[in-house]
Each structure stands twice: as structure tokens, then as C-alpha cells.
Amino acid sequence: MKKLVILLVIVAVGIFTFQHYGVAEKLAKFATIVGNITYSLSTAKHAYEDFDYNISDEELEDINVTKLANEFKSSIDRKKEAKVKALLEAQKVPKEIALDEIREEEVVHHTKTKIKKAQLVSLDALPDKFKPLKKYLHEPFKMGACKICHTSKHNKPGELVKKNIVDICYGCHKTRYTKKFDHKPVKDGKCMDCHDPHQSNTKKLLKADSVNNLCLKCHDRSSSFKDKAKKKFVNMNLRVKHKPIVKKNCLECHDAHTAEYKSLLHFDGKMDLCLDCHDEIGDKVHDSKYKHGGVNTSKKHCLECHNPHATKYKKLLQKNPVATCLQCHDKQVKSDEDGGMLLNIKKHLKENPNWHKPIKEPNGKDGGCGACHDPHGSNNFSILRKSFTKNFYDNFENKDFFCFKCHEEKKVSMQYTEDGNITNFRDGDVNLHYLHVNDRKGRTCRACHDVHASKYTHLIRSYTDFNGVKFPLRYIDTGTGGSCAPACHKKFEYDRFEPKGIGR
Amino acid sequence: MRRLKCFVFTVLMLLSSVNLLAKENLIQILSPQDYSLHREATINIVVKVTPAKVDELKIITSIEEKSVKIGKTATMNCKNILLRLGENRVTIRAYKDGKMVDEQIARMYVASDIFYEFRYPPIQYKQTFFHTDTNEALCKKCHKMTSNEIKNVAFIDVKESNCYVCHSHITKDKFGHAPAVNWLCGACHNGKAGVENMQNQGRSKYLAAQPVDQECFKCHKSNYKKWSKARYRHEPLDSGNCNKCHNPHSSPYSKFVRKPVDEICLGCHKDKHIKARELDNSECQGGIDKTKECVDCHNPHASNRPFFLRDKDDQRDKKEKR
């Protein structure tokens, strides 16, 4: 009796946990995953090698399709040559390009598939559902060689020669499937998901009106197609789209069937594929003096920041131009430049509420970190777009400093502000910027201003770095003026309307 | 002047005789010790008092007289006093209801490298250090005796510094040296001894290395580049004793010099005093034009020309900091 009771209790507890914590679902999920893995390991890859589909020689002799096939082939060759010529002209540098380098479109030779003349069906005699005929026809369909795929039994019209439709397709289309990665429908043998075996209004007998729409049928999250992809969704309803997708189609980068690189790409999708078109950026990335670790040494290279399909933000960035950078710069990152640690910008911005305009308005015209830094690499330190000085003391004269790209040089170069609009950092009409910047020991902008963010107005630093020592500026804003008490001098006050007599 | 000195001396002798009459030791000078040697003119004096029997202290030096009111529980009393160069006699008198109860005397010597007269102190004066474990234990009740500065980050409010509380007087002058004014004491006073003060190793927690030039040239790099290439270098620069002429904390004179420039020069170059200033010798043109200073023609640090004369492109930077 005791044993029975214990057993019952165990069973009850088991059922309770199964239901209450969803263990059953998890187990089922786990089982499907394991099943999928074992299936793909054992029976995956293409089964066509095992497939034995030979037509007897007698049958082959009856019909001669070689002529047709040769014509088809020669037309493709001509296209290929034209492509090479165009490429050479575009580059203007004579360069030997092997014909094999260009992606070869599949050529089907119908030499082997010969059918007796008597068995051909004329187009007029086709069933009504194929009429009217569409723009593009499948070659056997055009010939009326239904027998290649269908059995001739009249009681079962439309029955196939082989049970699996793949076996029939691969009988002729043997040139594919020599590469590393396959498209899921190809792997599963679902040719009919994309292609119509008889006729279509789009090239390659597609089941949709364009290549893009066909792809999105599965790869759109909101699609109603029942066999749509489980992941790898692309949202193309966003404002900024990658040009090749809009102007041409997905096949500019992807191969529909099989490819050597992940995501069915023609080249390595992290960098090489992008630089194939964006070669100017390629020069920057590889040849510039100071390189950005985000592109050069990161795991995902270009894709760390960019989305190759479509985004809300300019330049196809994943997040807004500042938030994209903060994905990595939310901690101290080791600099490739000198091995030092870079500032934790996210923390810096959090602690200091007054931000520089490009950071404050990332989606503006000159917005984002990219306004000053070139994320692909630059010949100036800190990958700045234009030169600046690292020194504390540097005379600004005759130097094309970066700040003056946006800020007026007048602010610094005029000794007296005749009209008060030039700068607010003045004592009466004495320009205090001029006083700080123009002497033999002229200080750079960064001595007093923090270019990213600050606790104080006008981006005044809380600490200035002098020879590795941090001295506080002790800036106080009084509304019509202010005061500073840095390490350089004692506490000085200035006022725009009641001059305190500085610089006279 | 001599008469005044004699007068003061006799008065002090009289006072010390009064001291003999007093029976009880109500006050005790803890720091500085008797016959102590100093290099700075301002010092902190620490006196231990029995507060029940004393209600006022008077500290008398040859320069000033300061009085300290004593609370009912204040056994330890600190006061900052000013000394003059050479021998000093500091008298501390304790009063109770207007009556003098006790008197103590401490002798101190302020030495200076600039002036020949005070360069070599009498042998009985010994250098003493305050920041030792035994001394700090006495002050711990009221003062935080540890350094609270973050390395290489200055205080936003300098009064937060633990050093400021007792040593604020060293930065009170017009021209303040940035590290001192911002109370980054630890940069120099790191407790390590240099080549010249090896004998003091471990005697103080906040010892500063002598010679100091290594610490100076960490910031004044461009000067080091310029001077190290020069053909002739002045002795204090070569030996690394920048603090011989400059006060690293603060000074009433521009460039942090300890005294007016001519006084410093003539402190060592005594012979030039006679030649240049009084006899108008043609050897030095400065003697004729009395508005000029030595440094107008001579570079006090280094030069490529004999007599440290300045080049055309090496003119004196007269622009003073405001």
C-alpha cells in the first residue's frame, strides 16, 4: 500500500509541475529541435546524387533539343562578354577578368531529355487552366513535352513521374548545389514554393510579380503566407532603404539558391560584399592612419552599425546616429590609437545634462557623432574628420581648426565686440575669447570646453586636463556674466553690461 | 637696528628669569621642539594646556603678538605664527584672570639658501618633522590626519582638503602656484626622499624629495628642453634646486620668487652689490640705470652667452599675471 501511495504522489507532483511550469511545452520544443538537428545531419544536403534518373538511349534519339539549347547558351555567352566589357570600361584600368569570376547563370541543356515526337502535346491541346498563356513558359511546357514530368495515365491526370517533385527538377537542373550554404526551400526540396513549373509573367517562372515580392512573401514578418520563414525577417516598410533593393532586387547581394557565404551572399557579408560597391569607404577603412575598431577589429564589421536592408535612420544606421555609437561606447573601450582607454561616453552624457548640438539633435542636418568623427577611419587623431590639436597651448592663428566648420571664427579673432552678437564671453565689449586664445600661450578650445557634454552652460568643462592633472574650472554663471577660478588664474569675474575691467 | 635687537634681548632675558619663578608647568610646547630648524617663515605651533587653570595664551615673537582664548575642554591649541630669518625666540605665556601663570620659551631658526648669512645655521639647531605617528596620534581627536586627495584630480572646493585646515597660510600670498593652490600636495610631498635629503628618509609621512627638479619638469617640459640644451647653466638649476629661488607654494612676487629678484641675486653675488649698485661700475650697465633689474639682461636659468646674458629672442617675459 505504501508503495502505491508514494507512486501516486510522485505522479501527481509530476503532472502538476508539467502543467504548471509548462515543462511539457518546453520538452516538446526541445524534442523538435533535436529532431531537426538529427534530420539535417543525416538526410540533409542534396539528395540528388543518390537520385538515379536515366532515360534510355532510344528515347534520346527521337527528339533533338540540342539545337535549341546551343542557341540559348550562345545568347548567354554574349551577355557575359558584354558585362565584362562594361566592367572594364567603368574601371578604365585594363585588368584581366576571368570569365568564371562573373556569376554564371544556370544553363540547362536539354540534350539528355529527349522524348518521342508522338508524345509531344501541341500548345492548343493543353488543358484550359493554362490558357491564356503567360509571358514566360517553361521549356518542356513550351515544347509540349508533358511526359518529362507527368505520367500518361489518363485516369490520373497530372500525376507525376516521380513521387518527389525535387527528383524531377534535379533531373535536368543539375548545375546547382555545389556550394556551402543553401536556401531553406532548396534544402527541403520545395522548388514549387517559388517557381511555377509551367508558366509565369515574371522571368525565371516566379510565382510573384517581382523578385522582391517573392522574397518578402516569406521574409516579411507580417506576411500571411503559411510556410513563411521562422526568423531572418526583413522589414522593408521603413523610410530609408538600401538602393540596390529599390533599384534592382534582392539578388544583387543574395543568391536565391546556394552560396559560399552565410546568408546566401556572393561575398563575405560582413565587409567584403559592402566594399565591393562602396570602394571609397574601403580605402578609408584599410588605408587610413587611425582606424576605427568598430569596423576593423569587431566581429560584425559593417553590420555593427548598419542594417543592409532598411532602417528608420539616415545612412542605414541601426539606431539613431548617436545611439548607434553608444552600443559599444557605453563602457571604457581600449583605443587602437595609443592603447589608452577611451571615455565612457554614455556615462559621460548621463552625468552631464548639457550636450553639444550634434549629440542633442542626432537626426538633424549635421547631427550624430559622425558630424565630427569619421566612423570609417581618418588620418586625424580620434578619427576626427578634420585636423585639431592635441596640445593644451596652441595658437589658433593660421590653423584650419575643426571647430570653425560650424562656429564663427570671428568669436575668437576680434579683440573688441563692437556689436554684442559675436560672443557672450565678454566683459563689456572686451572679447575674452580673444584674450584666452591669441597670446603666445594661446589655449585651444578644448582647454575650457568639453566637446561632448558638460554640467555647465556653454559646454564649459568641470575639469581641465593639464599634464595629466585634472584642475576644476569652478565656473559660475550669473546670467549676465560669470566667473572662473581655474588653476591658470585666481577667481575672475566678467559681466556683459557692467564691465569688471578685465583685459583693459 | 642693533640697539633694538639688544633691547629685545634684554627684555627676553628678563622674561625668562620670570619663568624660573613660576613653579607649575601648566603649558607645554609640543611642536616645534626647542632648537628646531625651519626653512619656511610660517610655522604652526602646538601647545598643550591644562584648561582648568589657564584661560588665555599669548604667543610673542619678535614680529607679532597673538592671543588665544582657551575653552574649558581645549587641551590642545594650535596657532599659526610668522617668523623672521635667522634665530627666533618664541615666548608663550599662560594667563588666568589677567595674571600670568606660566611661561615657556622655544628657540627656532629659519634658514634660507638665498642669503649668505642664514645659509648655515648654528650647530645646535636640528631639523624636526611633525608628521610622525606619535605626533599625529595627539591631533587625531580634532583633525583628520590622513590625506584625502585623489591622485591627479584637484578639489573643486579646496577647503575640503585635509591639509588645508592647518596649512592654509602657505597659499595666502598673491601669486599662487597651481598645484599648491589646488591642494595637490601629494604630487611632491609623497614621503620619498631624494638624493640630497636621504638622511631624512622615513622621518616624515609627507617628506618632499630634494632636489625637486624632477617634479617641476613634469609640467614645465618646454623649459627643460630649452635649458638642457643651453651652453651655460646657473648652479641652482643644474643642481635641481628650483625651490632655492622659487617658492613652490605661493609668493607675493611674480614668478613665485621668494624675494624681489635683485635681492635674491645679490644674496649670493655679494660682490656685484658693491660694484653695480653703489659704485656705478661700468662692468655692469645695470648699475647706471637703476630702474633695471639683474634679470633684464641676465637669464637666471641658462644661456648660450657668457655671463648668462640674454639673446635677442630670449627677452624677459615682463607680462605679469593678473
Whether pLDDT at A104 is above 50: no
* Same domain membership, residue A416 and residue A378: no
In chain B, which residue's Cα lies nearest the Cα of A469? B152
**Cβ-based contacts of B184 with chain A (< 8 Å):** 469
In chain B, which residue's Cα lies nearest the Cα of A488? B178
Beta-carbon-side half-sphere exposure of residue A377 (alpha carbons within 13 Å):
22
**Cβ-based contacts of B158 with chain A (< 8 Å):** none
- What is the pLDDT averaged over residues B126-139? 88
Whether pLDDT at A343 is above 50: yes
End-to-end CA distance of chain A: 107
CB-CB under 8 Å, A466 with B219: yes
Residue for cell digits 584637484? B154
CB-CB under 8 Å, A472 with B176: no
Question: Looking at A353, A383, A413, which one is the last position of a domain?
Answer: A383
For the segment B29-45, what is each residue's pLDDT rounded down to a tens digit?
988 889 999 988 889 99
- What is the pLDDT averaged over residues A386-413? 80
* Same domain membership, residue A441 and residue A373: no
* Same domain membership, residue A73 and residue A196: yes
Whether pLDDT at A161 is above 70: yes
Nearest-angstrom CA–CA distance, B45 and B268? 31
Does B321 touch chain A if contact means CB atoms closer than 8 Å?
yes
Residue for cell digits 513521387? A163
Whether pLDDT at B311 is above 90: no
Closest to B178 (Cβ–Cβ): which among A462, A471, A502? Answer: A471
Geometric angle at alpha carbon A22, from A21 and A27, rounded to 5°: 125
Nearest-angstrom CA–CA distance, A489 and B6? 45
**Cβ-based contacts of B156 with chain A (< 8 Å):** 462, 472, 474
Report the pLDDT value the prediction gives residue B88, as an integer from 0 to 100. Answer: 92
Does A462 touch chain B if contact means CB atoms closer than 8 Å?
yes
Average model confidence (pLDDT) across chain B: 84
Does A471 touch chain B if contact means CB atoms closer than 8 Å?
yes
Residue for cell digits 533533338? A64
Residues 6+ apart with CB under 8 A from B11: none
Q: How confident is the model at residue A403 (pLDDT cuts 50, 70, 90)?
A: confident
Geometric angle at alpha carbon A209, from A203 and A212, rounded to 5°: 90
CB-CB under 8 Å, B152 with A466: no
Q: How confident is the model at residue A94 (pLDDT cuts 50, 70, 90)?
A: very low
By residue range, what is the domain housing residue A178?
Answer: 57-210
Range of weakest confidence among A343-352, B8-17, B190-199, B279-288:
B279-288
C-alpha cell at A243: 538602393
Whether pLDDT at B15 is above 70: no
Geometric angle at alpha carbon B222, from B216 and B228, rounded to 5°: 80
Average model confidence (pLDDT) across chain A: 79
**Cβ-based contacts of A469 with chain B (< 8 Å):** 152-154, 179, 184, 187, 219
C-alpha cell at B95: 594667563
Q: Are B177 and B256 in contact (CB under 8 A)?
A: yes
- Per DSSP, B81 falls in state E
Residues 6+ apart with CB under 8 A from B229: none
- What is the pLDDT averaged over residues A266-271? 82
Range of weakest confidence among A257-261, B108-112, B161-165, B221-225:
A257-261
Helical segments of B37-176, H only: 133-139, 162-167
Whether pLDDT at A478 is above 50: yes
More confident residue, A339 or A106: A339
Q: Of B76, B78, B70, nearest to B53 (Cα)?
A: B70
* Same domain membership, residue A348 and residue A446: no
Q: What are phi and psi of B240, to 5 degrees?
A: 85, 10
Q: Within 10 Å of residue B237's Cβ, how many Cβ atoms?
A: 20
Cβ burial of A472 (10 Å; 0-12, 13-18, 19+) is buried
Whether pLDDT at B14 is above 50: yes
Whether pLDDT at B137 is above 80: yes
Closest to B321 (Cβ–Cβ): which among A462, A472, A489? Answer: A489
Asked if residue A239 belongs to a domain, the reply is: no
* Same domain membership, residue A62 and residue A204: yes
For the segment A5-33, what is each residue's pLDDT rounded down to a tens digit?
999 998 888 888 777 777 777 888 889 88
Q: Are B91 and B12 in contact (CB under 8 A)?
A: yes
Asked if residue A201 belongs to a domain, the reply is: yes
Does A489 touch chain B if contact means CB atoms closer than 8 Å?
yes
* Same domain membership, residue A443 and residue A329: no
Q: How far is CA A151 from CA A157, A158, A373, B56, B75, in A?
A: 8, 7, 68, 126, 118
Q: How far is B69 from chain A (nearest CA, A)?
A: 34
End-to-end CA distance of chain B: 36
* Same domain membership, residue A175 and residue A106: yes
**Cβ-based contacts of B221 with chain A (< 8 Å):** 467
Q: Of A483, A481, A484, nearest to A495 (Cα)?
A: A481
Q: How far is CA A207 from CA A215, A249, A333, in A?
A: 10, 16, 50
The segment with the largest mean pLDDT, out of A2-11, A167-176, A495-504, is A2-11
Q: Within 10 Å of residue B221's Cβ, how many Cβ atoms?
A: 10
Q: How confident is the model at residue B242 (pLDDT cuts 50, 70, 90)?
A: very high
Nearest-angstrom CA–CA distance, B199 and B159? 33
* Same domain membership, residue A177 and residue A77: yes
Q: How confident is the model at residue B277 (pLDDT cuts 50, 70, 90)?
A: low
Report the pLDDT value the prediction gives residue A413, as an integer from 0 to 100. Answer: 83
Q: Are B57 and B68 in contact (CB under 8 A)?
A: yes
Question: Looking at A383, A411, A431, which one is the last position of a domain?
Answer: A383
* Same domain membership, residue A460 and residue A345: no
- In three-state secondary structure terms, B176 is strand
- Per DSSP, A337 falls in state T
For the segment B65-86, what is each residue's pLDDT rounded down to a tens digit?
999 888 888 888 888 999 999 9
More confident residue, A363 or A54: A363
C-alpha cell at A305: 552599425
For the segment A209-263, what is each residue's pLDDT rounded down to a tens digit?
888 888 888 888 887 777 777 778 888 888 888 888 888 888 888 888 888 888 8
Q: Of B34, B78, B24, B33, nearest to B54 (Cα)?
A: B24
In chain B, which residue's Cα lies nearest the Cα of A468? B152
What's the total number of domains in chain A? 3
Closest to B184 (Cβ–Cβ): which among A469, A490, A502? Answer: A469
Query: E strands within chain B?
Result: 27-31, 36-38, 42-49, 56-60, 65-69, 76-82, 86-96, 99-110, 126-127, 175-176, 232-233, 250-251, 302-303
- In three-state secondary structure terms, B80 is strand
**Cβ-based contacts of B152 with chain A (< 8 Å):** 468-470
Residues 6+ apart with CB under 8 A from A357: A364, A366
Range of weakest confidence among A130-139, B140-149, B303-312:
A130-139
Q: How confident is the model at residue A99 (pLDDT cuts 50, 70, 90)?
A: very low
CB-CB under 8 Å, A468 with B153: no
Which of A439, A463, A470 to mutate against chain B (most B CBs within 10 Å)?
A470
Closest to A467 (Cβ–Cβ): which among B155, B182, B219? Answer: B219
Question: Looking at A356, A383, A410, which one is the last position of a domain?
Answer: A383
In chain B, which residue's Cα lies nearest the Cα of A484? B156
CB-CB under 8 Å, A487 with B182: yes
Between A and B, how many CB-CB pairs are < 8 A?
38
Does A463 touch chain B if contact means CB atoms closer than 8 Å?
yes
Residue for cell digits 569607404? A281
Q: How confident is the model at residue B252 (pLDDT cuts 50, 70, 90)?
A: very high
Whether pLDDT at B16 is above 80: no
**Cβ-based contacts of B216 with chain A (< 8 Å):** none
Report the pLDDT value the prediction gives residue A164, as an integer from 0 to 100. Answer: 78
- Is beta strand B36-38 parallel, antiparallel or unpaired with respect to B99-110? parallel
Whether pLDDT at A48 is above 50: no
Beta-carbon-side half-sphere exposure of residue B291 (alpha carbons within 13 Å):
0
Nearest-angstrom CA–CA distance, B134 and A484? 42
CB-CB under 8 Å, B176 with A474: no
- In three-state secondary structure terms, A471 is strand
* Same domain membership, residue A464 and residue A329: no
For the segment A72-89, what is each residue's pLDDT rounded down to a tens digit?
667 667 777 777 777 777
For the segment A276-291, what is each residue's pLDDT rounded down to a tens digit?
888 888 888 888 888 8
Name the superfamily (CATH) of residues B2-128: Immunoglobulins (2.60.40.10)
Whether pLDDT at A47 is above 50: no
Residues 6+ apart with CB under 8 A from A107: A69, A72, A73, A76, A175
Does B155 touch chain A if contact means CB atoms closer than 8 Å?
yes
* Same domain membership, residue A158 and residue A66: yes
Q: Are A249 and A212 in contact (CB under 8 A)?
A: yes
Whether pLDDT at B108 is above 90: yes
**Cβ-based contacts of A474 with chain B (< 8 Å):** 156
More confident residue, A272 or B282: A272
Geometric angle at alpha carbon A118, from A113 and A122, rounded to 5°: 85
Q: Tell me, what amino acid is at B87?
A: E
In chain A, which residue's Cα lies nearest the Cα of B187? A469
* Same domain membership, residue A193 and residue A288: no
**Cβ-based contacts of B177 with chain A (< 8 Å):** none
CB-CB under 8 Å, A471 with B182: yes
Nearest-angstrom CA–CA distance, A462 and A458? 12
In chain A, which residue's Cα lies nearest the Cα of B172? A490
Q: Tell me, what amino acid is at A459?
A: L
Q: Is the ipTM here above 0.85?
A: no
Range of weakest confidence among A103-117, A159-173, B89-103, B243-257:
A103-117
- Is beta strand A469-472 parallel, antiparallel or unpaired with respect to A430-431? unpaired
In chain B, which residue's Cα lies nearest the Cα of A471? B154
Residues 6+ apart with CB under 8 A from A484: A473, A474, A475, A476, A491, A492
CB-CB under 8 Å, A490 with B176: yes
Q: How confident is the model at residue A115 (pLDDT cuts 50, 70, 90)?
A: low
Report the pLDDT value the prediction gives residue B300, as an integer from 0 to 100. Answer: 92
Q: How confident is the model at residue A55 (pLDDT cuts 50, 70, 90)?
A: low
